[in-house]
Amino acid sequence: MAETGNELTKHINQSNNPRADLHLHTTYSDGALSPEKIVQRAQSAGLTIISITDHDNVGALDEAIEAGKKLGVEIVPGVELSVTLNEKDIHLLAYFFDYKNQKLQDYLAFFRYERLKRAERIVQKLNDIHISLDMDAVLNQAGIGSVGRPHIASALLEEGLIDTYHEAFMKYIGVGAPAYEKKYQLSPNEATQLIAQAGGLTFLAHPGKYTTELELSTLIQAGVDGIEVVHPSHNEARQEFYRGVIHQYFLLECGGSDYHGGRKNDDQVLGVYTVPLQVVEDMRTRLFS
């Protein structure tokens, strides 16, 4: 039977073109799979190096690193942080930091607490407009992970209060909707300094989804070390644009699938949205040379 494009790409990756995926999520944030399962999936997709980048949480890393040792997959420590620029949420990816650094651990614990408080405020707003969602239903969706709006959306869907997952954001909890609540506001400068003091690098995540060129310039001035070039939301023209920016400002590149293990089309991105291993080596060179 002929291979599909996705299967063929994975086959090529496995046989003669080792690749890295530097954007994966587990049950420690809004992913559907455990750290061990993610590593298994990555190995099956022909990936040699991966980074688990859960939101405000590094709890998956010890388990992932152990699984990676058994399966021959290197795990780069990662995390995804939310920052605020001009009242707008921007995501940053961080890599190669000391994930046991106490100052970083304290900050991440604080961010997770603020996520919980935000979720409670959103649920209260939903109740105020007669959407009878209980906070326990949200916590059941989050499990051990950092609580976020995706868990609220999933709880609304499971409770039969909406018809589709995306309806939650469009109608109730998206920006400008009646139950929307702002996140705790961390500035880009604070985030880059936080990661730098823990020995890591910071990258702007999937800028093609929401970042203007002016905002991109501001973030470069704030000290980001690079840009996520490869992402499912970036077509080839968008990738080439960001590579041009990288070369102009002597920045680094990263990229990955933004795999969550439970979203629509997730099975079509793992092993496809990847970067060469040289991308990881360039990060090491920047840090350790």
CATH class of segment(s) 109-173: mainly alpha
What's the mean pLDDT in 106-120? 94
Q: Is 233 helix (H, G, I), strand (E, B) or coil?
A: coil
Provide the pLDDT for residue 8: 40
Give the pLDDT confidence score for residue 6 in this predicted structure: 46
| Predicted local distance difference test score (pLDDT) of residue 144 | 87
For 250: left if phi > 0, alpha if psi spans -120 to 50, otherwise beta; the answer is left
φ, ψ at 111 (rounded to 5°) = -60, -40
Kindly tell me if the per-residue pLDDT of 55 is higher than 60: yes
* First CA to last CA distance, the chain: 48
The pLDDT of residue 209 is 84
pLDDT (tens digit per residue) in 232-262: 999 999 999 999 999 999 999 999 999 998 7
Residue with tokens 């420590």: 77
pLDDT of 94: 98
CA 267 from chain center: how many Å?
17
Q: Look at residues 158, 168, 254 and name the one whose alpha carbon lies nearest to residue 204.
A: 254
Return the domain boundaries, the chain.
5-99+187-288, 109-173
Q: Mean pLDDT across the stretch 40-53?
A: 97
pLDDT digits (tens, 9 = 90+) for 58-104: 999 999 999 999 999 999 999 999 999 988 889 999 999 999 999 99
Give this prediction's pTM: 0.86
Residue 255, both tokens: 């990229």
DSSP for 237-282, written as a single string: HHHHHHHHHHHHHT-EEEE---B-SSSTTGGGTTTTS-EEHHHHHH
Whether 109-173 and 5-99+187-288 are alike in CATH topology: the answer is no
Distance CA 7, CA 11 (A): 6
Looking at domain 5-99+187-288, its CATH class is alpha beta
pLDDT band at 5 (very low <50, low <70, confident <90, very high): very low
Contact (CB, 8 A) for 115 and 89: no
166-219 per-position pLDDT tens digit: 999 999 999 899 999 988 889 999 999 999 999 999 999 999 988 999 999 999
- pLDDT band, residue 1 (cuts 50/70/90): very low
Structure confidence by residue, pLDDT tens digits, 265-289: 777 899 999 999 999 999 999 998 7
pLDDT at 112 over 80: yes
DSSP 175-190: TTSTT--PPP---HHH
Average pLDDT, the chain: 92
- Please work out, in degrees rounded to the nearest 5, the angle formed at the alpha carbon of residue 13 by the alpha carbons of 44 and 91: 80
- 9-26 pLDDT tens trace: 444 444 468 999 999 999
Report the C-alpha gap between 120 and 138 in whole angstroms. Answer: 9
